[in-house]
Structure 1
């Protein structure tokens, strides 16, 4: 079986942590080799950049923020993702380049064409085989984040920022429906879990 590169994305508070566990359990029940990782992060350099980028006290320009995301991604690919795939291990990443198009592109206003140049330079032809985009209304997102943790640098942005981020995710999914599956995460967890499991089942039947 060819290893799959699967990503999970969506605005903050969309339920990614909950349904990463859904995906983890699905793989475990089938004894499939899989590596779980995250962005920004996944490597010592990536985790350092993550701490920097999420820290509310950090001042960083828009282009610098985008370049740092891709610097973390390059190291992540070189040290974690590509070696695992080469060994036949499936990889599941909590966020990937769709997040850059959504947050730095939609949210911050960096032109999508500029992000695409970096995407091609860093990733070459590599793209996720399957992407889950968890979607919730902004009100749900804000309520979940407020209840669960202290807000990081991105989570402190205003509602208009997140409206643009959410729309960017939906636009990307509409442009690439075979790869991107939008999941209504504003439902009972069991319903969301069942949909994700069904999509995984269909994906692995086809590969």
Structure 2
């Protein structure tokens, strides 16, 4: 298979990391070089973002100001993710490595936008980043995600019902507007069934050079 840039999106606890791992193992089984490269990254800005999300560092308390600051931070971290010369997305693709990313600029649109002004800001910050070869959206009822999140010892800053309702609504808008290759799946299915559908879609639509 040719090297691909694949993005998994969905609200918190929708199963992105699980499907990324299953897809990673699939590529290993067919001897295709592959990495899982999530956002936030492990770069310096990504590590700072993680401290904010885990509520170890506080920014402005106003929700809209907080989201705007996060949109700038994520865009900076995403620039590192795409363009750093050691393990950036473009570097790895040139090396014939497939990249599986849990979250990309779609998450910034989903999590950092509350009004049309926010949409314009986030779009402008991310307009030069390349689209993935495939966007996969794992769609799951909010109630199921909230039940899963309740089992976590320390919730992250965005892991609450009000925010995730807005995020889910934003994802619906993103999905309607995005014109690239995309696959939406019912994330209430078994992990194995979801994985099978992803692999079948890739083999059908993206398997040739």
So what's the TM-score if we normalise by structure 2? 0.86
**Which residue matches 1:161?**
163
2:126 counterpart (119, 122, 146): 119
Take 1:192 and 1:50, find their aligned partners in 2: how far apart are those partners? 28
**Which residue matches 1:49?**
49
Tell me how large the CA RMSD over aligned residues is.
2.1
**Which residue matches 1:142?**
146
1:130 counterpart (119, 128, 134): 134
Change (3 A) 1:188 1:177: farther
So what's the TM-score if we normalise by structure 1? 0.87
After the TM superposition, which parts of structure 1 deviate over 4 Å for at least 4 consecutive aligned residues? none
Take 1:174 and 1:43, find their aligned partners in 2: how far apart are those partners? 32
Q: Is the 8 A contact 2:68 2:118 kept in 1?
A: no
- Secondary structure of 2:35 counterpart: strand
- Secondary structure of 2:148 counterpart: helix
Alignment of 1:81-120 (within 5 A): 81-105=89-113, 111-120=118-127
- Secondary structure of 1:66 counterpart: helix
Take 1:197 and 1:76, find their aligned partners in 2: how far apart are those partners? 25
Take 2:153 and 2:179, find their aligned partners in 1: how far apart are those partners? 33
**Which residue matches 2:200?**
198
Cα distance, 1:57 vs. partner?
4.7
Q: Is the 8 A contact 1:173 1:181 kept in 2?
A: no
Any unmatched runs of 5+ in structure 1?
A: none
Q: Is the 8 A contact 2:51 2:57 kept in 1?
A: no
Q: Is the 8 A contact 1:133 1:181 kept in 2?
A: yes
1:77 counterpart (82, 90, 112): 82
- Secondary structure of 1:38 counterpart: coil
Aligned residues: 201
1:123-152 deviation digits (Å, cap 9, x = unpaired)? 2xx111101111110000001111244211
**Which residue matches 1:151?**
155
